[in-house]
């Protein structure tokens, strides 16, 4: 292991890690908004929008992120829509993540028994109140494990952004390997920085899941 090489190019990896985390954070935030909207549309069976959301989810989940990025970065300019590599990363991650988040939130909403909604209506509560005080708290606790899994999955998917010339962690690692043939050192730093990004998310998700389980079941 050439530690001199590692320390020399450590700042380059730090910059790439920050960019990777930034794109992952913004992309996931947008995907949460998309997923929440689509899940509510599907839950309430809104006409027309329900069909559009279903088609979007099927297309998004059944096409690889790499193909989506190629379409955004290389195909859209052909019709006059110029997209930077960074913006392509945001759009691609949000487009892919929105479908996964939607299914996660929808399963959480549907896990709440209908009898609870009917009981709340009989007590005089309105639909917005039922959603806020009855459905969402229970749906949230149910959705936490798959939600955390989706966040980790989407952060790992950022490794394909190098295909659109985005200087993320994978791009830097491949570039340095091609220039200096220091495969072990480059891959070592790549793994370390991805662990730095992913481990806190995994630990935080586990802690949150245990707290919600304790609050719900008292054990």
Select from 50, 40, 45 the least CA-distant residue to 128. Answer: 40
Rounded mean pLDDT of 185-211?
88
Select from 75, 102, 100 the least CA-distant residue to 88. Answer: 75
The answer to whether 89 and 159 are in contact (CB under 8 A) is no
Predicted local confidence at residue 213, as pLDDT: 66
Q: State how far the alpha carbon of 167 is from the alpha carbons of 16, 18, 206, in Å.
A: 6, 11, 31
Rounded mean pLDDT of 145-158?
90
Select from 28, 52, 210, 43 the least CA-distant residue to 136. Answer: 43
CATH number for the domain that contains residue 112: 1.10.3720.10
What is the total count of domains within the chain? Answer: 1
The answer to whether 189 and 59 are in contact (CB under 8 A) is no
- 86-103 pLDDT, tens digit each: 898 899 999 999 999 999
- How far is Cα 30 from Cα 18, in angstroms, rounded to an integer? 18
Least confident of 3-12, 188-197, 202-211: 202-211
111 pLDDT higher than 50? yes
- 55-89 pLDDT, tens digit each: 999 999 999 988 999 998 888 888 888 888 889 88
Range of the domain at 18: 3-217
- How far is Cα 194 from Cα 144, in angstroms, rounded to an integer? 22
> Which pTM does this prediction carry?
0.85
215 pLDDT higher than 60? no
The answer to whether 149 and 203 are in contact (CB under 8 A) is no
The answer to whether 45 and 110 are in contact (CB under 8 A) is no
Rounded mean pLDDT of 139-146?
82
182 pLDDT higher than 60? yes
- 33-57 pLDDT, tens digit each: 999 999 989 988 888 999 999 999 9
218 pLDDT higher than 50? no
């Amino acid at each position: 292991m050439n530690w001199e090489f590692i320390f020399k190019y450590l700042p380059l990896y730090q910059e790439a890690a920050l960019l990777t985390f930034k794109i992952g954070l913004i992309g996931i935030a947008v995907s949460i908004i998309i997923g929440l909207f689509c899940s509510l549309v599907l839950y309430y069976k809104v006409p027309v929008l329900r069909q559009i959301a279903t088609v979007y989810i099927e297309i998004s989940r059944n096409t690889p992120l790499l193909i989506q990025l190629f379409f955004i970065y290389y195909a859209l300019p052909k019709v006059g829509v110029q997209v930077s590599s960074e913006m392509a990363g945001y759009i691609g991650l949000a487009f892919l993540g929105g479908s996964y988040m939607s299914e996660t939130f929808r399963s959480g909403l549907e896990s709440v028994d209908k009898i609870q909604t009917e009981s709340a209506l009989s007590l005089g509560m309105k639909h917005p109140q039922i959603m806020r005080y009855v459905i969402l708290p229970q749906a949230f606790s149910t959705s936490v494990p798959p939600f955390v899994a989706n966040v980790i999955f989407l952060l790992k998917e950022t490794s394909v952004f190098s295909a659109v010339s985005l200087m993320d962690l994978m791009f830097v690692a491949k570039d340095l390997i091609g220039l200096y043939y220091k495969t072990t050192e480059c891959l070592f730093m790549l793994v370390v920085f991805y662990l730095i990004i992913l481990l806190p998310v995994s630990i935080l998700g586990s802690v949150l899941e245990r707290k919600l389980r304790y609050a719900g079941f008292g054990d």
